[in-house]
Structure 1
Amino acid sequence: MQEMFAGMPWWVKWVAVPVIAIVVFGGLIASVVGFVIGLLFKVLVFAVLVGGLVFVVRKFMSSSSSDRDW
């Protein structure tokens, strides 16, 4: 691979090749990034919902156990 770029100017290796890769694989990269962000959002929503459920259940259990003390 280095022999292929040996006689080329610096901008071919550092500008043109990445731009071509982004143009060719841009849709795939965007899909993967979108999927990862969507998955992270769903994990965050799941964690918040489970935390809220645990909070509500503990609150309910502590209030119902204090009622039995009377």
Structure 2
Amino acid sequence: MREIFAGMPWWVKWVAVPLIAIVVFGGLIASIVGFVVGLLFKVLVFVVLVGGLIFVVRKFLASSSRSDW
């Protein structure tokens, strides 16, 4: 691979090739990034909901154990 780019100017390696890659694989890259961001958001919502449930259950159990009949 180095032999192919050896005689090329710097802008071919650092500008043209990445731009061509973004044009060709841009939709794929965008869908993968969107999927990962969506998955991370769902994991964050799950963690917050489970944490809130644990907090509420502990508060309820603590308050119910104090006021025994």
Question: What TM-score, normalized to structure 1?
Answer: 0.93
Residue 3 of structure 1 deviates from its aligned partner by: 1.2
Residue 27 of structure 1 deviates from its aligned partner by: 0.4
Q: Partner letter of residue 24 of structure 2? A: V
Q: Partner letter of residue 46 of structure 1? A: F
Unaligned runs of 5+ in 2: none
- Hey, which bits of structure 1, 4+ residues long, moved more than 6 A? none
Percentage of matched positions with identical amino acids: 83
Unaligned runs of 5+ in 1: none
How many residues matched? 69
Q: RMSD value over aligned CA atoms?
A: 0.9
In 2, distance between residues paired with 1:25 and 1:15? 15
1:36-51 alignment, distance < 5 Å: 36-51=36-51
